[in-house]
Homo-oligomer: A and B are copies of this chain.
Amino acid sequence: MSTVGIRQVAEHAGVSPGTVSNVLNRPEKVSASTRARVETAIRELGFVRHASASTLRAGHSKTIGLSVIDIGNPFFTDVTAGVEDVASERGYAVLLSNSAGSTSKEERNLLVLAEQRVRGVLITPSDEGPGPLDRLRDRGINVVLVDHPAHRPDQCSVAVNDIIGGQTALTHLLSGGASRLAYVTGPLTIRQCLDRRLGAERALRGRPLRVVEMPTMTPRAGQQAAEKIVSEGDLPDAVFCANDLLALGMLRGLMHAGIRVPDDIALVGYDDIDFAAASAVSLTSIRQPTYQLGRVAAELLLDECDNPGTHAHQQIMFQPELIVRESTR
């Protein structure tokens, strides 16, 4: 039970506690010799700064929060990696919380972040309700939206153009000769699903698009969608899925029904997760700059935290990219 604090370090090094604090926080203010003395004292005593005391006195912590919808989705895992890299480069710690799609869990998590007095929050909002976010901002906690364009100019956001993504997918399918098209999606209340559909329809210029809406975006749901499409007859010759998880399930469902991909039905997914390249028939997909999304979001947030004066809010929109593989060849 070591209770070695800044005082003990100070005593051991023959200086005052204030000087130790300076070594810790503004080393340039301390002469080289005393700094060295303090640093060896720190090492010898195994001193570990008490983050709570520091936060309490300083009024702010070296911590940011990251709230994602589903940590099990490889898409978010990659975003998280980007965020963590930037944060650790700049000396911040990341508090990761997972709302698992539940709004109430999201609110509970945001409360924890507020209690911890995090410096800022990165969040992929699960719905449009801006209430909890505004409450954070009122407390002086900076907020950057991830994978969601901001609806107000005084707010940073980082997103990927889902309309272009949907359009690209459909254009690719059409150029492959497809004519009877289907869109398999999660709930159309989700902005991403909606935008991708919008893009798809734009590419179709009025031609019909069969929409199959599933309640979740999992491989299981994708397989069920396949069974539905097969049982209803009148097969499409190309399917666009809102998500690679759906697409993988769809692929499996189609193969089970003896339908060949891409010969009978061409298939395009979305996100380009690792498993997309590794599936039995590798999956054509729309790649998003996932890791980069996390990096840039974190950079915007930390800029806002460290330079509150000069920070200019930005809404950044990345472009998605088509990755062609076997499922549309």
Binding site for B on A (CB under 8 A): 1-2, 46, 48-53, 55-56, 61, 71-72, 74, 77-78, 80-81, 84, 88, 93-98, 100, 105, 108, 111-112, 114-117, 135, 138-140, 218-220, 222-223, 248-249, 251-252, 255, 274-275, 277-282
Pair A116/B1 contact, Cβ less than 8 Å = no
Pair B48/A111 contact, Cβ less than 8 Å = yes
Rounded to whole Å, the gap between the CB of A179 and the closest CB of chain B is: 26
Return chain B residues, CB-CB under 8 Å to A96: 96-97
How far apart are the CA atoms of A53 and B70 in the complex, in Å? Answer: 31
- The copy count of this chain in the complex is 2
Most buried by B among A56, A61, A80, A117: A56
Return chain B residues, CB-CB under 8 Å to A61: 52
Closest 8 CB pairs of A and B: A280-B280, A219-B278, A52-B55, A52-B52, A51-B115, A96-B96, A52-B56, A72-B77
A49 contacts which of B93, B115, B223 (Cβ < 8 Å)? B115
* Besides A219-B278, A251-B280, 11 other A-B contacts (C-beta < 8 A): A2-B138, A48-B139, A50-B117, A52-B53, A52-B116, A71-B77, A80-B98, A93-B116, A222-B278, A252-B278, A252-B279
How far apart are the CA atoms of A1 and B135 in the complex, in Å? Answer: 10
Known: A255-B280, A280-B255. A50 touches B93 (CB 8 A): no
Return chain B residues, CB-CB under 8 Å to A251: 280
Return chain B residues, CB-CB under 8 Å to A115: 48-51
